Amino acid sequence: MVTLRGIPSIISPDLLYALAKMGHGDEIGLKIPELLKAILKLFPLDTYVSFPAAVMALVHEDEVKGLQTPVWDKYMELLSSVGFEKKLEVVERFKFYERAKNSFAVVATGETALYGNLILRKGVIPAGENGD
């Protein structure tokens, strides 16, 4: 339970610690819109890379079937609300797994949306923006 003001209750102490310890360019894997919304209140996205947010590409069979990924639209809506103006990077399945494995942290959330995994790359907080 988080007992600090301004910290969304969905952010556990361990997750808050991981977010604070991450450096510029570190990545975190997560899987849920509500958590993404809360994290984006605390976490700047990297503006120095082409894609600071990545999802896993559909496997061939799902692409052939025309499988839809509405959770990606929700992610884009939430990312847009904090000024993110780029598309999501779509990463081949096994490259995504490797990237997630090498992330600073992976958050297990119980998300059930197909292709709901998401990787974020942390940026820097501009001088003066955090009250210093």
User: Which pLDDT value is given to residue 109?
Assistant: 81
* Mean pLDDT of all residues in 3-21: 86
Cα 51 to Cα 97: distance, rounded to the nearest angstrom: 17
Which member of 14, 48, 62, 97 is catalytic?
A: 97
At 111, which amino acid appears?
Answer: E
Whether the per-residue pLDDT at 3 is higher than 70: the answer is no
Active site residue 97: yes
Active site residue 17: no
User: Which pLDDT value is given to residue 80?
Assistant: 93
DSSP state of 45: B
Q: What is the pLDDT of residues 37-73, one digit of tens each?
A: 999 988 899 989 999 999 999 999 999 999 999 999 9
Active site residue 24: yes
Question: What's the length of the chain?
Answer: 132
Does domain 13-121 fall into CATH 3.60.10.10? Answer: no
**Residue predicted with more confidence, 77 or 9:** 77
At 15, which amino acid appears?
Answer: L
| Contact indicator for 88, 51 with CB cutoff of 8 Å | yes
Cα 128 to Cα 5: distance, rounded to the nearest angstrom: 20
16 token code pair: 């808050």
**Residue predicted with more confidence, 9 or 119:** 119
Of residues 40, 120, 119, 115, the one with CA closest to residue 71: 115
Which member of 14, 17, 24, 73 is catalytic?
A: 24
Which member of 14, 17, 26, 46 is catalytic?
A: 46
Q: At 54, which helix (H) or strand (E)?
A: strand 53-56
Q: What is the pLDDT of residues 67-84, one digit of tens each?
A: 999 999 999 999 999 989
Domain coordinates of the chain in residue numbers?
A: 13-121
